[in-house]
Every structure is written in C-alpha cells, then in structure tokens.
C-alpha cells in the first residue's frame, strides 16, 4: 500500500514539473469582417494558413486558397510573412500575433507603414461550407 501511495505522489509531482507548453496559433480561426474560417497549420516549421469555410456564398471561390505560406517565428507568439487577400490576390507584408488562446491578431502592411489589423477568434469548421479535401494540416 505504501508503494502505491509513493507512486501516486511521484506521478503528481511530475505532472507539476512539466515545462509550460509554448502557445501555438494552429487550428481554425474566424475572420470577424467576413465570417470566413481559416486553418492555420505547421508547414515545415513555418506557419501556413488556408481558407476552409465561408459564410457568404459569394466568397465560396476563396475556399482552398492559401492566405499565408511559410511565415517565420519572429518573437514570442509572433510570426512574420506574406499575407494574401483571398478575394483580391493582393499580397501584404504580414504579422500574426497570438494574443491569447482565443484571439489571433493579423496585420497587413503596404510599404511598411500603411497597415491594417484585425483580431480573429478561435472557431470550428462550419459543416456544409468546407471542402474537407482542401483542408490542410492535422
């Protein structure tokens, strides 16, 4: 009985000794201005993102389009790389910042000083609007 109690205590202590996991932006995020859902995923130790669902059927041609390919981690909870507007195809210098487990900020800039940002929220795939074959990542 004593061995069991000591084993349980040891397991409990080990669970507290684990290092904190680094925050990651991976998963599905919802763009508030359009309702589009974008999956952020690891692509060779870089950050990539692809549109996987839309709420506005006029935007259904955006499903499957990559909006970020190969952003590099540039700081704690921050990645930098090109952001592509899925609707227009225009490319911007982008920064993605994980503000919390539920908030992801994207900033796109032209010429380094004309910038616009938007904070996205964590979401789930809307059934009926996504094409699973086009959904990358795990």
pLDDT in tens, 77-100: 999 999 999 999 999 999 999 999
Residue 22: which pLDDT band, with cuts at 50, 70 and 90? low
35: Cβ contacts below 8 Å, ≥ 6 apart? 54, 55, 56
Mean pLDDT of 48-66: 96
Between 28 and 138, residue with greater pLDDT? 28
Q: Domain extents for the chain?
A: 2-134
**CATH number belonging to domain 2-134:** 2.40.128.520
- Spatial neighbors of 102 by CB under 8 A, at least 6 apart, are 121, 122
Residue 88 CA: distances (Å) to CA of 61, 77, 83: 11, 28, 12
């Amino acid at each position: 009985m004593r061995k069991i109690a000591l084993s349980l205590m040891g397991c409990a202590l080990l669970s507290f000794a684990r290092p904190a996991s680094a925050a990651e932006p991976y998963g599905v995020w919802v763009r508030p201005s359009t309702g589009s859902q974008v999956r952020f995923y690891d692509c060779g130790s870089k950050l990539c993102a692809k549109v996987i669902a839309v709420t506005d059927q006029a935007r259904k041609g955006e499903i499957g389009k990559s909006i970020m390919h190969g952003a590099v981690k540039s700081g704690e909870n921050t990645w930098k790389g090109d952001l592509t507007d899925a609707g227009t195809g225009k490319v911007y210098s982008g920064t993605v910042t994980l503000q919390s487990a539920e908030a992801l900020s994207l900033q796109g800039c032209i010429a380094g000083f004309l910038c616009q940002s938007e904070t996205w929220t964590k979401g789930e795939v809307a059934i009926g609007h996504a094409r699973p074959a086009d959904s990358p990542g795990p």
